[in-house]
Amino acid sequence: MAKAKTLTDKELRKVLAYIAVRKHAARNRAMLLMTHWAGCRVGTVAALRIGDVLNSDGTIKPEVRLAPDQAKGGRAYTLFLCDKLRKELAAYTSSIDVSDSAKPLFFTQKRSGFSSNTLCQYFWWLYRQVGIDGASSHTGRRSFITNLANKGIGVRVLQSLANHSSISTTQAYIDVNDGMLRKAVELL
């Protein structure tokens, strides 16, 4: 099976611009950015509850503690949210009813939570609508890991952020590109 395409900043902006003029823009933007800016798998995005990300005072948590049933492999781990993602989530949660912390963070038009399969299909459809070939529900996760590797983050840190049990799995996610190769030879 082919690896999911990693997106450039320009391609991500194109996807976000498409989302902005469609129904459920705030929700869809937040779901997409959870994959690109936190490296979430779609199963984790689907499993998130309001109480996982929202403090009792209504602010967004900087760290989300995921229970074993919310993560692949059944291992609990911590999801770290950057400031810009926390702002996106704050904008989204301000538009929904957050009174029941046990409810899904992201819900369908029928007010039920998304399934992993439904989110996989949504992301596949979204990238096709924007005209990005090779992108899938794993594109955000691969882009997240590759972008951090591009910025010099070590593979051991990336492994922990991705909740991979093997460092070789993390290494397979890193998409080597011309920019990385140029930076490498310029170190000489």
**Superfamily holding 1-188:** Intergrase catalytic core (1.10.443.10)
Q: pLDDT under 70 in the chain at which residues?
A: 1-2
Report whether 90 contacts 60 (CB < 8 A): yes
Measured CA distances, 24 to 3, 29, 59, 139, 159 (Å): 29, 8, 22, 21, 33
Closest CA to 75 of 84, 60, 83, 65: 65
Reported residue count of the chain is 188
**Whole-structure pTM over 0.75, yes or no?**
yes
Burial code (b: 16+ CB inside 10 Å, e: under 16) for 37-75 equals bbbbbbbbbbbbbbebbbeeeeebeeebebeeebbeeee
**Interval 92-106: pLDDT, tens:** 999 999 999 999 999
Query: What pLDDT score was predicted for residue 69?
Result: 87
**Interval 8-29: pLDDT, tens:** 999 999 999 999 999 999 999 9
